[in-house]
């Protein structure tokens, strides 16, 4: 196990357990089926995770993120119906069939203990690239932190955007004001028999350039 020690003036020495941090960063996968649909998730646990999510960067310090936690059975059913409609349409447009896991999440969304809709107050300025990046960059890092915090507590989730196809109907269902932008929906439940591993992703040598676009790092002299 590796440890990193971080000393800063006026603070006690802080030891970060790299193995645990790396495990959470490296194995926070989509969990769609291996979920415990019957085990409740305490509101306090979700609040703790949201408190960590709110440590993410936030443009102009606005903290415009809002986390709408849906636990009410009728509302979950309403969201699940919209999600399924979006999924069916998506499936009809694809050349290949949906994976059983994608289908399973869609079929059982209403049974998941908590659905968290991550929103931002305001609307991005359409056509202004810098403003759009700042807008979404001020909410999506918090959403990812939330997923990591959930994972570290044994909770599984999936980063989903399909519901956005029905943003208007979702807003009506949940009384979301017009000037609030919906982003991702995280279905949250304790995992059950889920073995989460690092995904097979491109390595740094395939996705990194040094100093000039397309250039590999110069070998050390
Ligand atoms: C922008 C974005 C939108 C996504 N939307 C959905 C979705 O609507 N439904 C779903 O089941 N998964 C969705 N996913 C999850 C991806 O399918 C998943 O991240 C990918 O297959 C990699 O698997 P992993 O999350 O286990 O690493 C989305 C992921 C991203 C980044």
The per-residue pLDDT for range 70-124, each reduced to its tens digit, is: 999 999 999 999 999 999 999 999 999 999 999 999 999 999 999 999 999 999 9
CA distances from 53 to 118, 139, 143 (A): 11, 10, 7
* Ligand 1 center to 160 CA (angstroms): 6
CA 81 distance to own-chain centroid:
21
Q: Is residue 182 part of a domain?
A: yes
Q: Is residue 204 part of a domain?
A: no
Which residue would you say has higher pLDDT here, 14 or 143?
Answer: 143
Please give the number of the atom of ligand 1 that sits closest to the Cα of 199: 27
* Ligand 1 center to 55 CA (angstroms): 23
Helix (H) or strand (E) holding 183: strand 180-191
Q: Within 6 Å (CB) of ligand 1, which residues are found?
A: 29-30, 32, 102, 105, 158-162, 199
Q: Is residue 212 part of a domain?
A: no
Q: Is residue 198 part of a domain?
A: no
Q: Is residue 42 part of a domain?
A: yes
Domain count, the chain: 1
Any idea which residue has 């769609």 for tokens? 32
Q: Is residue 179 part of a domain?
A: yes
Evaluate if residue 187 carries a pLDDT over 70: yes
Q: Is residue 53 part of a domain?
A: yes
CATH number at residue 88: 3.40.109.10
pLDDT at 48: 98
Please give the number of the atom of ligand 1 that sits closest to the Cα of 185: 8
Domain span at residue 19?
3-192
């Amino acid at each position: 196990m590796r440890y990193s020690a971080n000393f800063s003036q006026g603070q006690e020495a802080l030891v970060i357990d790299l193995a645990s941090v790396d495990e959470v960063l490296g194995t926070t996968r989509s969990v769609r089926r291996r979920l415990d649909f019957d085990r409740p998730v305490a509101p306090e646990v979700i609040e703790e995770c949201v408190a960590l999510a709110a440590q993410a960067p936030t443009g102009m310090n606005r903290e415009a993120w809002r986390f709408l936690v849906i636990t009410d059975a009728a509302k979950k059913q309403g969201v699940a119906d919209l999600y399924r409609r979006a999924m069916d349409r998506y499936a009809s447009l694809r050349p290949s069939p949906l994976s059983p896991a994608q289908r399973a999440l869609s079929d059982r969304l209403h049974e998941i203990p908590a659905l968290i809709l991550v929103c931002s107050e305001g609307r991005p300025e359409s056509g202004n690239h810098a403003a759009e990046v700042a807008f979404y960059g001020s909410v999506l890092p918090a959403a990812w932190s939330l997923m990591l915090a959930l994972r570290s507590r044994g909770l599984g989730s999936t980063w989903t955007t399909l519901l956005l196809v029905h943003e208007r109907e979702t807003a009506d269902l949940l009384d979301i004001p017009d000037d609030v932008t919906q982003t991702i929906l995280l279905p949250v439940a304790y995992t059950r028999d889920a073995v989460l591993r690092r995904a097979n992703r491109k390595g740094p040598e395939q996705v990194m350039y040094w100093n000039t676009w397309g250039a590999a790092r110069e070998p050390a002299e």
